Amino acid sequence: MPVLIAGLVVFLAAHCAGLVAPAWRARRIARIGLRPWKLAYSAISLAGLVLIVRGFGTARADAIVVWQSPVWTRHVTVLLTVVGFVLIAAAYVPGNASRRHWGTR
């Protein structure tokens, strides 16, 4: 888990440099040039991404189950998904009874 968190911090810090400190970013680009800045930015982002992937793999291996949903909620989810698909399909069928009932065309 610490590797995952470190990867997230590195990756997000690299991506937030322009948002948090735009003047600092502009000074660095003016000092070293745009191409070296992009190379360093890419290398730092890639290092953060590698840490995220490795940390995620490690965190999944020794995961602690904090909460598990009851079995009956799976059946409710399937039922609600079927109802949702029917309602989405009904929204795009022209002139059906549900659209006339609600006053939309």
> Confidence class of residue 13 from pLDDT cuts 50, 70 and 90?
very high
- The distance from CA 80 to its chain's CA centroid, rounded to whole angstroms, is 24
- Tell me: do 56 and 80 sit in the same domain: no
Burial of 77 (0-12, 13-18, 19+ CB in 10 A): exposed
How many DSSP H helices and E strands does the chain contain? 5, 0
Task: Tell me what percent of the chain is helix, strand and coil, each rounded to the nearest 5.
Answer: 80, 0, 20
pLDDT, tens digit, 9 for 90 and up, residues 58-82: 888 877 888 888 999 999 999 999 9
Domain limits at 29?
Answer: 2-61
- 67 occurs within a structural domain: no
- Tell me: do 8 and 52 sit in the same domain: yes
Residue 104 in tokens = 């939309």
- Tell me: do 8 and 45 sit in the same domain: yes
